[in-house]
Amino acid sequence: MDNWFLFMQLSVHLWVTGEESLSFSSFLVIREMASKLHSRWYDTCLVKTYKAFVAHSKFFKPTKMKHLKFLQDTIIELYSIDIQKSYQQVLASLQQLAKSLQLAIRTMMKEDLKRVRNWQYINCISLWVKFICCNFKEHDIESLLSLCILVLKGMAYLFPGPRYVPLRFRCMQMLNQLSLSSGVFIPVASLFFDCLEYKGKEIVTDSTHGWAIAVSNLANNTCTSLTYLALIFVRLVPKNLVKSQSFQKECVLSAIELLSAHFLQWSHHISFPELATFPLILLRRFHDKLTDNTLHRQVKRFVDQILDRCWRISACNIVEQNREFIEKKRDGVSFSPNDQVAIDSFIQKYLNGRICASDDKAQ
Amino acid sequence: MVKKKKIILPPQLPPEVPDDEIEVSDEDLAFVNENREYAGFLTKLDRNLIDRHVTRLTGSKEDELETLYEKRKKKASLKKAKEGDGVEVDRVDALPIKTLDGEICYRAVENSRPDIAPKQNESENVLVDHDKSFSRLTKAERRQKLKKSKKEAKRKAKVDAEDEAVGRGLHLELLAKVQVELSAEELFARKKIRLAEIGTALLENPELNIKSLKELLHICNDVDHKIVKLGLMSLLAVFKDIIPGYRIRLPTAKELEMKVSKEVLQTRFCESTLLNSYKAYLLKLVTLEKDSSFHCVAVRCMCTLLDAVPHFNFRESLVAAIVRNLSSSDDVVRNLGNTVGLFLKYLLYLLMCFSIKKSSCRTIKSLFANEGKHGGEATLEAVQFIAELVKAYDCHLHPDSIEVFLSLIFDEDLGTSEPKKDEKEKSKKKKRKQKLDQSNQLLSENKKRKHDLMEKTREEVRADLKSVTFGPDKCEGRRMQSEILSAVFETYFRVLKQSMEPSVSRSMMNDASSSAGLGNHPLLGPCLTGLGKFSHLIDLDFMGDLMVCLKKLAGHCDSDNDSYSNTLTVSERLQCCIVAFRVMRNNLDALNVDLQDFFVQLYNLLLEYRPFRDRGDVLAEALKIMLCDGKQHDMQRAAAFIKRLATFALNFDSSEAMAALVTLRHLLLKNSKCRSLLENDPGGGSLSGLVAKYQPDASDPHLSGALSSVLWELSLLSKHYNPSISAMASSISSMASMNPLQTQAYLSTLSPIEAFEDSKIEQELFKPVSWRNPVNQKSKRENEFVLMNATEHFRKLENALDEEAIQEKFEEHFTVLRDISENERLRAELNRTSAAIRFYSEYEKQKKAKEKPRKKKQVA
C-alpha cells in the first residue's frame, strides 16, 4: 500500500519536473494507476497531479511554455477519464478561484489583487477552460461553464486600465474559446472598446526605448502578437511601455484578432449585423482619427501606418461585406425573431452558402 | 542619562600634605608592628605608580607629565575660586545613587533633578491631553513649590556654568556640549511643569485662577517652538473646558456704573478676562498660523475650538481664519494635499455635527432651542465660507469640499410645506441682511433677529394657525435654512458655470490641478449629485438657466472640439441628463422646457459608454429616469431607443445588458405600437415614416428609422450565457403575441437600477453553485480524446527509439556485471593461491627449523 503511494508520488514528481519523454512515460504510469486501480486511487491521482501542476506553474519562463501545455493536456486527459468523479474536484478548484477573486473585488487590497494576478491563477483558469472546452459536448457541465465565465469576467472587471490590457485580452481569448465550444453567446466586444479609446486619445510620441524594440523583436520571433503579448505581460505592463506606440499597435492588432474570432463564431448568425453595429461605429471613428493623425506624421511613420490601416480597413471591410450579405439574405425571409426553428434552418442554409461564397471569392 | 557614558574615575588624590604633618598614632604603629606579615605590602607600594594611575597619566610620557600637571593645577585653582561663591558640591564623598530608572548617579544634588524632570514631563503631557486626573495641590503649596523650583533652576544654571568652566580633562569639550543640552532640556521641563500647573489650577477653579490665563498666554511667546506649541495646546484644553455654554456679552458703560454685588463683580471680571484672553489667543493663533512651523498646530487648535465651542464669541473670526487660511496657503494646498484633506475633514466633521445637532433640536425644541440656533448659524457660516472658497479657487478644489454639502439635512417640513414665494422673499431679505454692516454684527445681531422675528410672526399670523404653534423657532430655522440653501446653490451654479467656460483661461490652472491629481472638473461630480439631491428645493427663477446649463454640459462631446481638456466624462454627462429630468419631475412640468436634446444625448451616450471607465449605476439611473419613469414617448423615439438598447445589450456585460433589457421591456409594454419591431412584417415600412431604412449610426433617434427594423438581437441574446438574460430575451420576444390592450397588467416591478445591481459581477460571484453531479453523458460516444490517440502514436515511436537504447544500456550493464563477477572469481583464486604459497613458505620454514636442531643433534 505504502509502496503504491510512494510510487505514485514519485511518478507525479517525475511527470511534473522531468524532461519530455520521462514526463510522458510517468504520465502513462499515472494514467494506468488512475484507470486500473481502485477508484480511491483515482481521486488521489487527481488531487496530486493538480497540486503538482499548481506548484509547478508558479513561475513562468517562455521556454517552459511547451511543457506547461503538455501538463495541461495530460491533466485534462486524466480528469476526463471519469467526469462523474472529477467534476467535484474541478468545481472545488473553480470555487476556490472564484473565492479569491471575490475577496479581491471586495477589498481591492494589493495583496488580494496579487493573489489573482499571478501565473498560478491564470494557468489554473486556462486549464479549466480547456477542460470545459474538451468535455462540454459530451457532458452536462453547465454550472462549471457559468462559473468559469463569471471568473473570467470578474478578472477582466477587476483590472481596468491600459496597463492590464494583455491580461484582459487573455481573458477575452478564453471567453472566446468557451463560447466557441459551448455555443453560448458571450459578449466580449465591450472589453475591447476601451482599448480603442486609449488609442483614440493617445497623442503619438516617438519613443524609442528598449522595451519597444524588445517588443517588436520578440513579436517577430514568436507565433502571433496576441499570444506573445499575453505571455509576456499577463501581470503588468511597465508604465513607460504603455505609451509607446509599438505596444499600442500590438494592442490594436490583437484586439482586432480577438474581435474577429468573436465575430467569426457568430458571423453566420442572423443577429450578426446588430452584433457588429457598435464595434463597427467605433472602429470607423477610430479609423477616422487615425487618418487625421497620419496626415501630420513623418513619412517614415506613414509607411508603418499604411500597413496598420490596411489591416484595419480590411477588418472593417470584411465585417461590412458580411453584414451586407446577411442583411441581403435576411430581407428575403418572412419569419420573425421568435420563430426559433426557422432561424436555425436559415443559419444552416446560409452557413453553407457563405462558406461557398467565401471560397469563390478566395479563388 | 548623559552620565552613563562617562568612565568611572578613580577618586581624586587627597590634598598634598607634607609627611611630617601626618600624625601616626601609637596604636597604629603597634598594629603594624604586630602584624608584620600582613602589613608588609605597605613597604612594597610604589607611590609613583599609584599617583600616576590615580591622576590618570599612565599613558603619557614623562616629558609631558610636567605640562599636564601644570594644567591641572591651574584648573584646580580656578575651580576653587569659583566654588567659593557657589554651592559646595562634594564629588568625592557623595555616594552613587541608583534611581528608579536604574541609572547610577554620582552627584546627588545635580543629577537627581534631571531624572525627576522627565517623569514630570510625562505627567504634564497626560495633563495636556486629558486635562484631568492630576493630583491637585492647594494654591499656597503650589506657589511655594514654584518658588522653590525657580530657585533651584537658578542654582542649577549656575552649577552647570561651573561645570562648563571647570570641565574634566579629556572630556572637556564633549561635556560642555552635553551640559548645554542638559540645561536646555531642564529649562524645557521646568516650563512644561509650569504649564501643567497653571492648567490644572485653571481647570480646578477657573474663577479664582482666571488671571493665570495671561501667564499662559505669555508662555506662548517663548522662543522655544516646542514650548509655544505645548502652550497653545494647553490653552486649547483649558478653553475647551472653561468656556461657558453661553455667549458672553460685555457690560455696557451704563451697566458698569450701576452698583452690583460682589459676586456679580467677580463674575464680570472673570468673563471679561476670559474674553480678552480668548481674543488674544485667537489673535495669537492667527498670527502663528502664518508661520510654517506652527501652521499645523494653529489650524488644529482653531478647528478644535470651532468644533467644541461654536456658540462662543468671535466665532466669525474663527471660521474666517480657518477659511482664509485655506485660501492663503494656496501653494501649500497644491503641494500638500494632506493639509487640504485635514481642513476639509474638519469642515465635514463640523457640518455633520451641526446637522445632527439640528435634527436633535427639531425633536426636543424647547430644550435645545439655543444650541440648535447656534448650530444652524455655524452651518450657515461654514457653507458661506465654502462658497467663497470655491469662488476664490475658481472651482479647482478637492471634490470633498463640495461633497460636504450632501450631509446637510434640510428640514423637509420647513422647506416644502411653505409656498415658494416665501422662499423668494426670504432671499430678498437675505440680501438686505447682507447689506448690513458686518463689522458690528455682534451688536446688531439682536436687533436684526428681533426685526426678523417681528416680520415672521406677522406673516405667520396671517398665514396659518398651525405654523404659529411652532412659534418663532420655526421661522428662525426656516430663515437659516433658506440662507444655507442659497449659499449651497450659489456654489453649485458657480461650479456649473465654470465647467461650461471655454478652457482658454483655465489651461494654466488645468496643468496645475491635474498635476495635483484632480481632474478637469473636480467639483462637477459632487455638484451634480447635490443638485439631484436638492432639486426639489431649487427656486423656479433659476430653473431656466439651470436647464440651459445642463443642456450645454450634456452636449459637451469630444467629437465637437479637439481640445480634450474641455470634455466631460460620460458619467458626468449622464448625470447632467439625470439632474435635468429630476428637476423637471420635481417641479411637475411647471416650466416648459424641451427635453428632446437630452434624449438625443442619451441616445448617443449609449455608444460612448465603456464598462470599466464609466459608472454603470449612473447609466442605469439615467435609463430609469429618462425612459421608464417618463410619461409618454412618441413612437419614433421609443422605437429608436428600443433598437439601440437591444444592440447595446448585445455588446456589454450582463449587468448593463440586464438594465438595458429591463428598460426595453418597459418601453415595449408602454408603447404597444412599437411591438411591431418584434415581427418581421414586410409591410412594416408603412409605420416607418420619414426614413424607410434603419440607420444604426444616425445620431438623432428621430431620424434613425428604427421602426422599420426588426429586433433580431433577441435571438442571439436568448443564447446568452447568463440564464436570466436569456430568459428575459425570450420573454420579450414572446410579447409579440400579446394583446395590445393588456399592457398595464403586466408592468414589471423591476427597475433598471435594481436589475443592474442584481447582475453585477460581485453579486453573480456570490450566487451559489449547485454541487449536484452532472447528468450522464449527453451523447454516447467513444470517450477517446485526441491526446490519447496521440499518446499511442507517441508510445510506438518512443518504444522504437527506446529498444535500441535499452539494449545498449542493458549490454553495458551486463558487461559490467560480468566483469565484476569475473573479477571476484579471479580475486578469490588469487587469494587462494597466495594463501597456499604462504602456507607452503611457512611449512618450509618450520621444516628448516626442525631440520636444524636435528642437524645439530646430528652434529652433536
Strand partners, A363: none
> pLDDT band at B77, cuts 50/70/90?
low
Highest mean pLDDT among B33-42, B224-233, B587-596: B224-233
Task: List, in sequence order, the alpha helices (H) in B2-107.
Answer: 26-34, 36-44, 47-54, 62-85
CA atoms of A131 and A86, how far apart (whole Å): 11
Are B193 and B149 in contact by the 8 Å Cβ rule? The answer is yes
Handedness of CA A272, A201, A233, A145 (dihedral sign): negative
The residue type at A342? A
Probe site for chain A from B570, B642, B760, B769 (most A CB atoms < 10 A) = B769
More confident: B257 or B590: B257
Q: How far is B654 from chain A (nearest CA, A)?
A: 9
In the 8-state DSSP scheme, what is residue B627? I
Residues of A in contact with B721 (CB under 8 A): 145-146, 149, 179, 184-186
In the predicted model, is pLDDT for residue B651 greater than 60? yes
Closest residue of chain A to B798, computed from CA coordinates? A21
Residues of B in contact with A106 (CB under 8 A): 762
- The angle at the Cα of B343, spanning B293 to B381, to the nearest 5 degrees, equals 120
Q: How far is A47 from chain B (nearest CA, A)?
A: 18
- Is the CB of A336 less than 8 angstroms away from the CB of B736? yes
Q: What are phi and psi of B265, to 5 degrees?
A: -55, -45
Q: What pLDDT shows up at residue B335?
A: 37
The residue type at A245? Q
pLDDT tens, N- to C-terminus, chain A (363 residues): 677 788 888 888 888 887 777 888 888 888 888 777 777 778 888 888 888 888 888 776 666 777 888 888 888 888 887 777 788 888 888 888 888 888 888 887 778 787 877 788 888 888 888 888 888 877 777 888 888 888 888 888 787 777 777 778 888 888 888 888 888 888 887 777 766 665 444 434 434 344 444 444 444 444 344 445 545 554 556 566 666 666 666 676 677 777 777 777 776 677 777 777 777 777 767 666 665 454 334 333 433 444 444 444 445 445 656 666 666 666 666 666 666 666 666 666 655 544 444 444 433
Residues of A in contact with B613 (CB under 8 A): 160, 194, 197
Query: Would you call B97 helix, strand, or coil by DSSP?
Result: strand
Q: Does this model's pTM top 0.95?
A: no
Question: Among all chains, which residue has been given the C-alpha cell 429618462?
Answer: B626
Residue in A153, A266, A330 nearest the CB of B653: A153
Are A175 and A149 in contact by the 8 Å Cβ rule? The answer is yes
CA atoms of B135 and B116, how far apart (whole Å): 16
- Is the CB of A80 less than 8 angstroms away from the CB of B783? yes
Average pLDDT, chain B: 65
In this prediction, residues B766-775 reach a mean pLDDT of 53
In the 8-state DSSP scheme, what is residue B246? S
Closest residue of chain B to A160, computed from CA coordinates? B612
A162 reaches B (C-beta below 8 A): no
Residues of A in contact with B783 (CB under 8 A): 80, 138
- Is the CB of B678 less than 8 angstroms away from the CB of A337? yes
CA atoms of B9 and B54, how far apart (whole Å): 9
Q: What are phi and psi of B293, to 5 degrees?
A: -75, -25
H or E element at residue B219: helix B212-219
Q: What pLDDT shows up at residue B40?
A: 57
> pLDDT band at B277, cuts 50/70/90?
confident
> pLDDT band at B371, cuts 50/70/90?
very low
- Is the CB of B715 less than 8 angstroms away from the CB of A337? yes
Are B344 and B333 in contact by the 8 Å Cβ rule? The answer is no
Residue in B717, B771, B779 nearest the CB of A91: B771
Residues 275-304 of A with CB under 8 A from B: 275, 277-279, 281-282, 284-285
Residues of A in contact with B713 (CB under 8 A): 271, 274-275
More confident: B140 or A176: A176
- Is the CB of A336 less than 8 angstroms away from the CB of B652? no
In the predicted model, is pLDDT for residue B827 greater than 90? yes
Residue B685: count other Cβ atoms within 10 Å of its Cβ. 13
Residues 52-81 of A with CB under 8 A from B: 73-74, 76-77, 80
In the predicted model, is pLDDT for residue B821 greater than 90? yes
A30 reaches B (C-beta below 8 A): no
Residues of B in contact with A145 (CB under 8 A): 721
Task: Name the percent of chain B lying above pLDDT 90.
Answer: 4
Residues of B in contact with A25 (CB under 8 A): 798
Residue B323: count other Cβ atoms within 10 Å of its Cβ. 20
Could you tell me which of A30, A80, A44, A34 has the C-alpha nearest to residue B774?
A: A80
In this prediction, residues B103-132 reach a mean pLDDT of 44
Question: Which pLDDT tens digit goes with each residue over B500-543?
Answer: 665 433 333 433 333 334 456 666 777 777 777 777 777 667 77
Cβ burial B40-79 (10 Å sphere, 16+ → b, else e): eeeeeeeeeeeeeeebbbeeeeeeeeeeeeeeeeebeeeb
> pLDDT band at B826, cuts 50/70/90?
very high
Are B448 and B436 in contact by the 8 Å Cβ rule? The answer is yes
Residue in B564, B712, B783 nearest the CB of A270: B712
Question: Among all chains, which residue has been given the C-alpha cell 432671499?
Answer: B427
Closest residue of chain A to B779, computed from CA coordinates? A138
In the predicted model, is pLDDT for residue B833 greater than 90? yes
Length of chain B counted residue by residue: 860
Closest residue of chain A to B783, computed from CA coordinates? A81
CA atoms of A216 and A205, how far apart (whole Å): 16
Residues of A in contact with B646 (CB under 8 A): 274
A85 reaches B (C-beta below 8 A): no
Residues 207-226 of A with CB under 8 A from B: none
Closest residue of chain B to A259, computed from CA coordinates? B651
- Is the CB of B774 less than 8 angstroms away from the CB of A139? yes
Residues of A in contact with B711 (CB under 8 A): 337
- Is the CB of B719 less than 8 angstroms away from the CB of A106? no
In the predicted model, is pLDDT for residue B425 greater than 50? no
Question: Which pLDDT tens digit goes with each residue over B8-65?
Answer: 555 555 555 555 556 666 777 776 677 666 655 655 666 666 665 655 554 545 556 6
Probe site for chain B from A35, A75, A174, A185 (most B CB atoms < 10 A) = A185
Are B694 and B704 in contact by the 8 Å Cβ rule? The answer is yes
> pLDDT band at B431, cuts 50/70/90?
very low
- Is the CB of B781 less than 8 angstroms away from the CB of A138? yes
Q: What pLDDT shows up at residue A144?
A: 83
Handedness of CA B360, B361, B367, B371 (dihedral sign): positive
Residues 108-137 of A with CB under 8 A from B: 134, 137
Question: Among all chains, which residue has been given the C-alpha cell 580633562?
Answer: B169
In this prediction, residues B728-736 reach a mean pLDDT of 78
- Is the CB of A279 less than 8 angstroms away from the CB of B650? no
